[in-house]
Structure 1
Amino acid sequence: MRRTVLLAFGTFALGMDGFIMTGLLSDISGDFDVSLSLAGQLVTAFTLCYALAAPVCTAVLSSKPAKLVLLGALLVFTLGNGLSALSSSYPLLLVARAIAGIGAGIYMPMAATTAAALVEPEQRGRALGLVLGGLSIGTVLGMPAGLALAHLFGWRLTLWAVTGLGLLALIGIGILLPELPGSPPMRLRRRMAVLGDPKVASIVVVSFVANIASLGLYTYLAPVLKSVGHIGNPIPYLATWGIGGILGSLLIGVVIDRTRRSFSLFTVVMLAFAAAMVVVPLAGGVHALLFLPLLVWGAAGFASPAPQQEQLLAARPDNSNVVVALNDSAIYLGSAVGSALFGAVLAAGLPMSALPYVAAGFAVLGLLVHLLVVPNVSARTSGASGTGSPVPAEATAVTE
C-alpha cells in the first residue's frame, strides 16, 4: 500500500493542476490583455485534452510496461507545466495547458490500474480510493492554493510549484515503483472495441451524468450560495465541500473492500447526492444548516468514481487500463458539459437558486440508468455470450 501512496502523490499534482488555473485566470487575463472568458479557455484546453488522451493514449500504450508509461506521462505533464510558467504569449500558454492535460490524461488511469495490480484483490477498493483521494485532495486545494500563491508570488511561480510536484512524483516513481508488465499485445482496433461494450458504456454513461451534476454545479457554487443564502464569503462553505470530498474519496475504498458491494454503494452515494442538492436551496436561510448538505455533496461526489471503477475492472479485466481511462474521461467531460449546460440554463432565465434542483434532476437520471440499465445490460450480454468477461461485482444486485 505504501507504493500506492506514491502513485497518489502523482494524482495529487494532477488534481491541483486541473483546478489551480481557476484561481489564476484574473492575473493571466491582465498580463496577456485578454478577456476573462478567453482566459477561461485555458481550463477548457487542459480538460478536453485530458478527456481525449485518457482513453485513446491508454489504448495505444497499455501493452507497454506500466512504470514506463507512468514516467512518460509525468514527463509530459511536467514539461507542459514548465512551459506554462515560461509562456510569453496567450497562444503559447494555451498549447502548454493542452500538453499538461495530455500528460495528466495518460497518467491517471494508468495510476489507478497500477494501484489495483500492486495489492491483493481484497485491498483493491482501498488502493483505488487512495489514488482517487490524491486527485480529490489536489482538486479541493487547487483553487484556494492558486489564489494564495498567486497573491504572494505571482501566477508563474504558482505553476512552477505544480511543475515541482510533478517532478517529485516522477523521481519517486522512477526510484521506488517496481517494474510491472503491460497488458498482452492487442490490435488497437480490438482494444478500442471495448468502448462499444454495452456493459462498459452503461457504467461510463452513469459516471458522465453524475459529474454533469456534481462537478458542473461546483463551477457555480459561490454564486449559488450568494443566491440562496446571501453569503458574501464562500470560503468556509467551499472548505466544507472540500473536506467532504477528501473524506468520501478516502473512506469509500475501505467500505468497498469490506462489503464487496460496489453496485449498492454507488446507489447510496447517488441518493445522498440528490438529497443534498435538494436541501441546499431549502437550507439557504439558515447558514449553519448549509454545511451539512455541502459536506454530503462533496463526500458523495468524490466517493462515486471508486465503485464505478471497481465495476469496470470486474467487467473487463482484459482491458482494465482502457475502461478505467474511459471512465476518467467521462468524469472530466461531465464537468465540462455540466459547466456549459448550467451556464446555458442561466442564460435562458432560470434563477441561480434553481441550479441545485437541476443538478438533483441529473443525479436522479444517472441513478435511474444505474438501477435500470446497467444490471440488465450486464445480464443480457453475459447470458448471450455464455462465457466472457465477469460481470461487475453486483451487476445483478437489484434482483437480490
Structure 2
Amino acid sequence: MGKVWLLTLGAFTLGLDAYVMAGLLPVLADDIGTRVSLAGQLVTVFTLAYAISAPLVAGLLSGVRPRVLIIAALAVFALGNGATALAPSLGALLAARVVAGAGAGVYSALSTAAAAALAPDGRRGRALALVMGGMSAGTVLGVPIGVLLAEHTGWRATMWLVTGLGAVALGGLVALLPQLPAGPAVPARARLAAIADRAVAPIVTVSFLAAVASLGLYTYLAPVLAAAGGVDRVAPYLWAWGAGGVLGSVLAGPLVDRTGRARTLVGVVLAVIVAAQALLSALASAALPGAVVALVAWGAAGWALQVPQQHRLLALRADRGTVALALNSSALYLGSAVGSALGGLALASGTAAEALPWVAAGVAAAALVLHTATGRRSRVASRVSTLGSYEHC
C-alpha cells in the first residue's frame, strides 16, 4: 500500500490547492494591486480547467499508459503552482492557475483508478478511501495551515508549500509507481449520451447547482465574514467548515448503506445547506461561536451530498456508471467555477458581501426544488407503469 500513500499525498496536495486560494484572496489582492472580486477569478479558472481537463484528456489520450499520464499530470500541476508563486501580475496568475487546474483534473481522475489497480484483492475499498481521504484532509488540515503560513510569510510561501508537496509526491511516483493496466476507452458518443439521459441529467444538474451554491460561496468566505462580523482572521472558520466536511464525508456512506434511502438523504442534505447559508450572515455578526455552527453544518452537508448522489447514479446506470460519475465530477467543478465567477461579478457590481450567503442559499433552494420535482415525476411514472401492467393482466 506504500504506492497508494504516494497517490494519497498527491491527492492531499490537490485538496490543499483547490481550496486554499479562498483564504488567500484578500492578502493576494492587496499584494498584486487588484480587487478581491477579480482575484476570485483565480478560483474560477482553476476549477474550470479542472472540470474539463479530465474528459478532454481521456478522449484524446485514451491509448497512453496510465503511469505516464499520472506522472505527467502531477508534473504539470507542480509546475503550475510554481508559476503561481512566481507570477508578478493577475494575468500571469490566471495563466498559472489554468495550468495547475488542468494537471489537477487529470491526476484526480486517474489516481483513484490507479489506487484500485494497485491494491490487493479485498483491500480496494481501503485504497480508494485513502486517496479520497487525502483530498478532504488537504482541505481540512492543509487549507488552515496554508492560510496561517500566508498570514506570517505571505501568500507566495503557501504556493511554494503546495509546489513542494507536489514535487515530493511526483518524485516518489517516478521512482516507485509501476506500469498500470489501461481501462477501456469510452467514446465521446457515450459521454454525450450520458448528458442527454433523462435519468442522469437531473441528478447531475442538482450536483451542479449545489456546487454553485456551496463552493462558489466558499471562494468569498473571507470578505463575507469581514463584512458580516468584522472577522479579519479566517483560518478558524476554515477549520470549522473543513471539520464539518470530514464529519459529513464519514457519516454519509454508512447512512446510505444502513437506510438505502439515497434520494431522501439528498433532500435532507440540500435543506441543511439552504438553512446554514441563509443563517451565515446573521450568525457571523454574532461572533465566532454562531458562525462556527453555521459553517460546520454547511461543510458537513456540502461534503456529504456527493455520496448519495454517486449511489443514485450507479443505481440508475450501472452499465455505464463510470461515465455518469465522471460527468457528475465535471459538473461539480464546473459549478464551482460558475459560482466563483458569479460571486466575483456580484461583488464587482456593488453587491454587499454579506448578501452572498442569501444568494447562495437561493441557488441551493433551486437545487432542492429540482430534486423534489424530479423525484415526484419518477414516482408518478413508476405508478403509471405499475397500473399499466395491472391493466394487461
Same fold (TM > 0.5): yes
Pair 1:155–1:66, CA change in 2 (3 A)? same
Pairwise CA RMSD: 4.0
Q: In the alignment, which residue of structure 1 is the partner of 2:335?
A: 334
Give the superposition deviation at 1:315. Answer: 3.9
- Does structure 2 conserve the Cα–Cα contact (< 8 Å) formed by 1:59 and 1:321? no
The answer as to 2:262 corresponding to 1:262 is yes
- Residues 32-75 of structure 1 deviation map (CA, whole Å, 9 limit, x = unaligned): 66666555443333222112213322344456554443333212
Identity of paired residues, percent? 48
The one-letter amino acid paired with 2:170 is: L
The one-letter amino acid paired with 2:108 is: M
Pair 1:128–1:270, CA change in 2 (3 A)? farther
In the alignment, structure 2 segments of 5+ residues that lack a partner are 386-393
Moved more, 42-51 or 319-328: 319-328
Q: TM-score, normalised by structure 1?
A: 0.77
- Does structure 2 conserve the Cα–Cα contact (< 8 Å) formed by 1:109 and 1:321? no
Mapping 1:185-224, distance limit 5 Å? 185-224=185-224
Mapping 1:71-150, distance limit 5 Å? 71-87=71-87, 91-114=91-114, 130-141=130-141, 143-150=143-150
Q: In the alignment, which residue of structure 2 is the partner of 1:398?
A: none
Q: In the alignment, which residue of structure 2 is the partner of 1:184?
A: 184
The answer as to 2:317 corresponding to 1:303 is no
Pair 1:299–1:156, CA change in 2 (3 A)? same
Pair 1:282–1:338, CA change in 2 (3 A)? same
Pair 1:44–1:284, CA change in 2 (3 A)? closer
Q: In the alignment, which residue of structure 2 is the partner of 1:372?
A: 373
Aligned residues: 383
Pair 1:254–1:45, CA change in 2 (3 A)? same
Q: In the alignment, which residue of structure 2 is the partner of 1:359?
A: 360
Query: For the residues of structure 1 that align with 2:257 and 2:3, how far apart are their CA atoms?
Result: 18
- Does structure 1 conserve the Cα–Cα contact (< 8 Å) formed by 2:48 and 2:101? yes
Query: For the residues of structure 2 that align with 1:379 and 1:37, how far apart are their CA atoms?
Result: 45
The one-letter amino acid paired with 2:12 is: F
The answer as to 2:37 corresponding to 1:11 is no
- Does structure 1 conserve the Cα–Cα contact (< 8 Å) formed by 2:248 and 2:304? yes
Give the superposition deviation at 1:216. Answer: 1.7
Query: For the residues of structure 1 that align with 2:214 and 2:61, how far apart are their CA atoms?
Result: 31
- Does structure 2 conserve the Cα–Cα contact (< 8 Å) formed by 1:116 and 1:128? yes
- Residues 283-306 of structure 1 deviation map (CA, whole Å, 9 limit, x = unaligned): 456443332222111111112223
Pair 1:26–1:319, CA change in 2 (3 A)? same
The one-letter amino acid paired with 1:300 is: A
Pair 1:225–1:40, CA change in 2 (3 A)? closer
Query: For the residues of structure 1 that align with 2:188 and 2:143, how far apart are their CA atoms?
Result: 38
Give the superposition deviation at 1:337. Answer: 2.1
- Does structure 1 conserve the Cα–Cα contact (< 8 Å) formed by 2:44 and 2:336? no
- Does structure 1 conserve the Cα–Cα contact (< 8 Å) formed by 2:23 and 2:221? no
In the alignment, structure 1 segments of 5+ residues that lack a partner are 385-400
Q: In the alignment, which residue of structure 1 is the partner of 2:170?
A: 170
